[in-house]
């Protein structure tokens, strides 16, 4: 799991403070130039993408907050759909 901070208003210090405040233990990418936003055609924030091991987007959830329980439920559903 990783996170992309896609808002151009945030700076590195703000993102680091957020990571520390919430005890995030996964990588967080700061999308300074907006290239990730453009690549994934993000229209709204937050947007959560569930990407499989082959790099295919399996599910997109627009809006939030997406709680840990909600993420676990989405992942469980995707695992059930595996062949």
Spacing of C-alpha 76 from chain mean position: 17
CA distance 77 to 83: 13
| CATH tag, 3-80 | 3.40.30.10
CA distance 77 to 27: 24
What does the domain layout of the chain look like in residue ranges?
A: 3-80
Q: Check residue 77 and give its pLDDT.
A: 94
For the full predicted model, state whether its pTM sits above 0.75.
Answer: no
Span 34-77, pLDDT tens digits = 898 899 898 888 888 888 889 899 999 998 888 889 989 999 99
């Amino acid at each position: 799991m990783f996170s992309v901070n896609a808002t151009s208003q945030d700076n590195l210090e703000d993102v680091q403070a957020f990571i520390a405040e919430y005890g995030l233990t996964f990588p967080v990418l700061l999308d300074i130039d907006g290239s990730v936003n453009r690549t994934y055609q993000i229209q709204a924030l937050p947007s959560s993408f569930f990407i499989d091991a082959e790099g295919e987007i399996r599910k997109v959830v627009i809006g939030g907050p997406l709680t840990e329980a909600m993420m676990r439920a989405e992942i469980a559903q995707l695992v059930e759909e595996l062949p």
